[in-house]
Amino acid sequence: MADPKVLGIVLAGGEGKRLSPLTLDRAKPAVPFAGLYRLIDFALSNLVNAGVLRIAVLTQYKSHSLDRHITTTWRMSSMLGNYVTPVPAQQRLGPQWYTGSANAIYQSLNLIYDEKPDLVIVFGADHVYRMDPRQMIAQHLESGAAATVAGIRVPRSEASAFGVIKTGPDGRQVEAFLEKPADPPGLHDSPDETFVSMGNYLFSTDVLLDALRSDAEDPSSKHDMGGNIMPMMVDRGLAQVYDFQSNEVPGAAPTDTGYWRDVGTLDSYYDAHMDLCALVPVFNLYNSQWPILTHIPPHPPAKFVHEDDGRVGRAVNSVVSNGVIVSGALVRESVLSPGVRVEEHAVVERSVIMDNTVIGPHAVVRNAIIDKGVVVPAGVQIGVDKEHDRARGFVVSDGGVTVLGKFQEVTH
């Protein structure tokens, strides 16, 4: 199959409870990231950069901002039959919403029937990474596998928090899918490492259709891709793993190799932003050969003003978006989204500040995530005293990050 026809399906129905309050008003894949992007932009960019140009995004929870982002940003050439389209839960098979990721695809089989692809590639919508799926597709075709799952190597000591892939002696054939095992199996070529599922799958279409139909008829199934469909493939001897470490992304630096973040918690979301602020970023946004694509809002360039005694507008080791004004304030190791204002003598350190938030004069924001449209009054401190933060109704994560929701009121 020299040039297979590939349909992309992105699973974007996640509720994202562990990211609350960032998900109180939006779906998890629509959560902003790195100033300009939404989480879903990473999966979509990886697919589109690889030439997968027909993509259905399956949505469910609080999907309005996600639908709007996809329809206004991800416009493909309809003349060539290409598209990225949001597909809401349609209840085609009865009065029920999606009961799992496999059920979401099963309820949307019309997409596959209409497109008649040779292969179906299924990606999650809420991970931060770069990947060239063409190499996964090439291995799938070369190996003759019916199902291929992308696996990332992690230390065995950390693997119990994830879905784990146990491979055979050849390092490819999947022998078992294990959900958060207490004693994860080591790899044959690296006993101290374990394959963790990235939630990215590739299927030969006929095999996927058969598996989805079988799963739908099983009343004991949770109808989950990783929990049910892939174990079914393993039992039938049809599944192989693709080693993400072998993926070579055009233009990527050596420090980028193997970077993948599951930003499913407030602390992992925060840590991924701090990765961007490092002197040598652990994840490099500046790869023009494999760009992360999104809509860039029409703001003017960022501006830094004042150079008086004790009042200098400056940002150090930070990511600053367009439309930001830092007015006689200090920003250090932080990510500022479009339209943010940081007023005189304010200090923002190790924080993520989202669109159109205002940090008032002499305010201090430290180790915090502040969602869109928040006004921090003059002299107020956030993230300095965690008990005081909790008393004011702010969320404080397990890792000690103070988090404010969209338009949340701030008091002294």
* 114-170 pLDDT, tens digit each: 999 999 999 999 899 999 999 999 999 999 999 999 999 999 999 988 889 999 999
Length of the chain: 412
Residue 363 lies in a domain: yes
Instruction: Report the CATH number that the domain containing residue 127 is assigned in CATH.
Output: 3.90.550.10
> Is 386 assigned to a binding site?
no
Query: 178-231, pLDDT tens digit by residue?
Result: 888 889 999 988 999 999 999 999 999 999 999 999 999 999 989 989 889 999
Structural domain includes residue 322: yes
118 shares a domain with 174: yes
- Is position 98 annotated in a ligand binding site? yes
- Residue 14 inside a domain? The answer is yes
CA angle 202, 203, 204 (to 5 degrees): 140
The predicted pLDDT at position 54 comes to 97
Query: Could you give the C-alpha distances from 236 to 209, 231, 240, 412, in angstroms and in order?
Result: 15, 9, 11, 61
Of 14, 16, 37, 119, nearest to 297 (Cα)? 37
Number of domains into which the chain is organized? 2
Q: State whether 267 and 368 are in the same domain.
A: no
Asked if residue 294 belongs to a domain, the reply is no
> Which 8-state DSSP code applies to residue 225?
I
- 194: β partners: 154
333 is in an annotated binding site: no
pLDDT below 50 — which residues of the chain? none
Instruction: Please say which residue of 242, 277, 312 terminates a domain.
Output: 277
Q: 310 and 273, same structural domain?
A: no
Whether 270 and 353 map to the same domain: the answer is no
Which tokens in the block code for residue 182?
A: 């207490």
**pLDDT value at residue 278:** 87
Mention every residue, 6+ apart, whose C-beta is less than 8 A from residue 82: 53, 54, 76
Which of 234, 261, 277 lies at the terminal end of a domain, its last residue?
277
Q: Do 258 and 382 belong to one domain?
A: no
Q: Does residue 375 sit within a domain?
A: yes
Token representation of residue 93: 């098979």
- Check which CATH number belongs to the domain holding 362 and give it: 2.160.10.10
- For residue 261, tell me if it sits in a domain: yes
CA distance 330 to 94: 56
206 is written with which tokens? 């006929």
| Residues 312 and 247 both lie in one domain | no
Tokens 């500022």 belong to which residue?
336
| 28 labeled binding residue | no
Please give the pLDDT value at position 388. Answer: 97
> What letter does residue 173 receive in the DSSP assignment?
B
In a domain, 285, yes or no: no
Q: Of 291, 333, 339, whose CA–CA distance to 314 is shortest?
A: 333
Residues 217 and 264 in one domain: yes
Identify whether residues 272 and 341 lie together within a single domain: no
Are 271 and 333 found together in one domain? no
231 & 343 share domain: no
Same domain, 180 and 236: yes
Domain boundaries, position 381: 303-404
Question: Are 268 and 316 part of one and the same domain?
Answer: no
Q: What pLDDT, on a 0 to 100 scale, did the predictor assign at position 308?
A: 85
292 located within any domain:
no
Rounded Cα gap, residues 235 and 248, in angstroms: 31
> What pLDDT shows up at residue 90?
73
| CA 87 from centroid of its chain's CA atoms | 19
Residue 252 in tokens: 């990527």
pLDDT at 210: 96
Q: Of 277, 312, 347, which marks where a domain is finished? A: 277
* Mean pLDDT value across the chain: 93
Would the annotation count 62 as a binding residue?
no
Lookup: tokens for 246: 């072998």
